Structure formats: C-alpha cells, structure tokens
Amino acid sequence: MLELVIKGSKKYWALIIGLLIVMGIGFGFWLWQLSFGLGITGMSRDVSWGFYIAQFTFLVGVAAGGVMVVLPYYLHDYKAFGRITILGEFLAIAAVIMCLLFIIADLGYPMRALNVLLYPTPGSVLFWDMIVLNVYLLLNIVVGWNVLEAERNGIPYPGWVKVLAIFSIVWAPLIHTVTAYLYCGLPGRGFWLTAILAPRFLASAFAAGPALLILLCLIIRRVTKFDPGREQIQSLAKIVAYAITINVFFFLCEIFVVFYSRIPSHMDHIRYLFFGLHGHGVLVPWMWTSISLMVVAIGLLVVPVTRKNEAVLAVACVAVFIGTWIDKGMGMISGGFVPNPLHHVVEYTPTIPEIIITLGVWATGFFILTLLYKIAVSVKEEVSEV
C-alpha cells in the first residue's frame, strides 16, 4: 500500500515538500538545541517544562480522541463509522508520533533516552507513559494497516485484528489517564493536584480529537473523491458537543472547589492564568480567549440548526480545537509552574527557536498524517471504483 504515497497530484506534492521544508528547518534547530542545550528555549529553573510538554499533553488528547470513532464501530456496531475508523486510527498514529517526538525534543540528554528501558522503574509514571504511548502507537499501526489492507483486497480482516482493535479502545483512555497522572500525582503543584485532572483531560481529548477529525473529514471531502459521509460527521459533531460541554463543566467544578475552599496554593495558579498575579499575566488574554471559544463552540454545537450546517460546524470545530489547544497547550503547563513552589512568579514564554522546533514536530506529524491519509483515501477511492 505504501506505493500509494508516491503517486499524487501537484498540490499533494507541494504540501509534502512544504512540510518537508518545515521539518528540515525544525530539525536544524533541534540539532542546535542538541549541541547548545535546552537553553535556547524559554524554560527556566522555575518553569522547567514548557511548550514541548504542553504540545505533548495536548496531542495525547488528540491521539486518544481518535478512539471516539473506533469505539462506536467495534463496541456498539455503529456501522456508519466503519467508513472512517481508519481516519481516527491514522490520526492517532500521527498524534502519538508527535507526542514521542515532543518528548525527545524536551529531553535534556536524548542520547540516554533508552535508559528508561535499561533501568525500568515501575514507580515512575513517566515509565508507564512511555509504555502506554508506544503500545497505543503499535496497536493503531497494526489495526489500521491490517483493516485497510483487508479492505483494499476485498477480504475480511483477520479475527485477531478485532481483538486488538477492542484492546486499543480500552487503551486510548489509558494513555490520557496515565498522562494526567504525570501531573496530578505531584505534591506541591496545587494546580494539578486534583482528582478531576484525568477526567478533564479525557473530556477535552474527546472534544479536540473528533473536532480535528471533523475538520479533516471536511477537507478530505473537498480535495478527494472520498466522502467520509454526512451522517458520520454529524455523529462526530454530537460527540464533540457532549465532550466540550463536559470539559467546561469539569472546569467549573474545579473552579468551585478551588475558590470555595480558598486554599491559596490551589487558587493562585488559576488567578494567575485568568487575572494575573503580582502584576504578571501574559496568559490572561489567551485563557479568556480559550474559555470564550469553548463557550461559543458549545452554543454552536448543541443547537441542532447550527450543528447541522457544515460551515458553522467547521467554525465550531476550529473553536473547540483552538480553545482546547490554548487550554492544554499553553495554560495547563505554565499554570502548574506559576507561581513556583516558593511562590515566586516567574513567567514563561516560548522562544523563537523553541517555536520553530515545535512547528517542525507538528510538520512531521502532519507529514505522517498526510501520507497515511493519502494511503487511506486512495484505498477508499480505489475500493469504491473497482
């Protein structure tokens, strides 16, 4: 099937080459980071995780969100999603690969990355995160590839693939739960130290993942002969609507607990994010944007009329995606570190090299996604033609 990626239109090749250029630039900056150290980023002693880990966290969500099309198909026999499960699985592959790349980019000494395997430490959540992510990646590759190949050859996929598919459904929430546990088990970081972090992560994941999927479906419909289907898109939209609503609800729960209990070490972080603390507040406009986007999106998604209008739906999905991206990709990590354990406010803004490397990883992800979707869509086109 791989041969399908080398046959494409001019636009396809332009996209591929464009992404390769961004990847190349990102890689160049990463080499610089490798030789200089993480000092080229905006991270500091006080905010020791930054953009990379934030992207990682967000993308774990996107990866896990892919399951929302796989689950109804395999567990509830919702046939309509059979058409697009592959898109969810391939999105998950690209997202997990980006996650792993962000981890690599964030490591101070990536050459020793394999120490995690050499000295396995079951007590460390990071160890488990490494396992769940890699297994999820493998599951999606194997399931996605085999199902697609079987479809292409017009034969039923092997029985064991279904077992793995169901396994991957269980696995998807796991990757985001374990990722949440990275944060919510840490003492002295009041912002993260909350049991609802994992549910919140999942809710935003099941909003952001399918929202991106809807957007991708709409793009695919425009640029290829394969139509993922109106019913499929509407079903996904409902999932996004529920998930984003629950996400905001969870957030409000958090707000209530924090502000009603008035425990400073929990309160200060949220105050910093939304109102600024001690005169520092770079993230304030961002956070309000995020909240507004999510609220607007809820409005657009819950009302059937707007949801059923695909143009409006696209806007709502963009709102969900950007809203959750700001929430997790910017607020979640910085918010946890500011103020620091000694209650100093040291702010963090990513530097240009950091952003370029980040873009490089995103480009890599979209590169992989493009190739995988090219394969999937070509097969779909082929199957419907022959």
- Kindly list the residues in this chain that would bind other proteins in the complex (CB under 8 A): 1-3, 36-39, 41-46, 48-49, 103, 106-116, 118-119, 121, 123-127, 130, 149, 153-156, 158-159, 182-183, 185-189, 264-265, 336-337, 340-344, 382, 385-386
Nearer to other proteins, 308 or 343 (CB): 343
Q: How far is the CB of 13 from other proteins (least distance, A)?
A: 15
CB 64 within 8 A of CB 205: yes
Q: How far apart are CA 198 and CA 211, in angstroms?
A: 20
CB-nearer residue toward other proteins: 125 or 300: 125
Closest among 306, 325, 90, 303 to 217, alpha carbons compared = 90
Select 18 or 37, whichever has its Cβ closest to other proteins. 37
Our CB check for other proteins shows the closer of 78 and 110 to be: 110
> What is the smallest separation between the CB atom of 159 and other proteins, expressed in angstroms?
7
**Taking the complex as a whole, how short is the minimal distance between the CB of residue 272 and other proteins, in angstroms?**
15
Show Cβ contacts of residue 160 under 8 Å, excluding neighbours closer than 6 positions: none
What burial letters (b/e) apply to 228-241, b meaning 16+ CB within 10 Å? beeebbbbbbebbb
Q: How far is the CB of 31 from other proteins (least distance, A)?
A: 11
Cα–Cα distances (Å) from 127 to 61, 122, 137, in that order, read 18, 6, 16
The Cα–Cα gap between 38 and 43 comes to 8
DSSP for 300-315 reads HHHSHHHHHSHHHHHH
Q: Minimum distance between the CB of residue 161 and other proteins, rounded to whole angstroms?
A: 12
* CB of 119 or CB of 260, closer to other proteins: 119
- Say if residues 28 and 356 touch (Cβ distance below 8 Å): no
Contact assessment for residue 194 and residue 267, using Cβ atoms and an 8 Å cutoff: no
Strand partners, 280: 277
Residue closer to other proteins, measured from CB, 1 or 170 = 1
Least Å from the CB of residue 124 to other proteins: 4
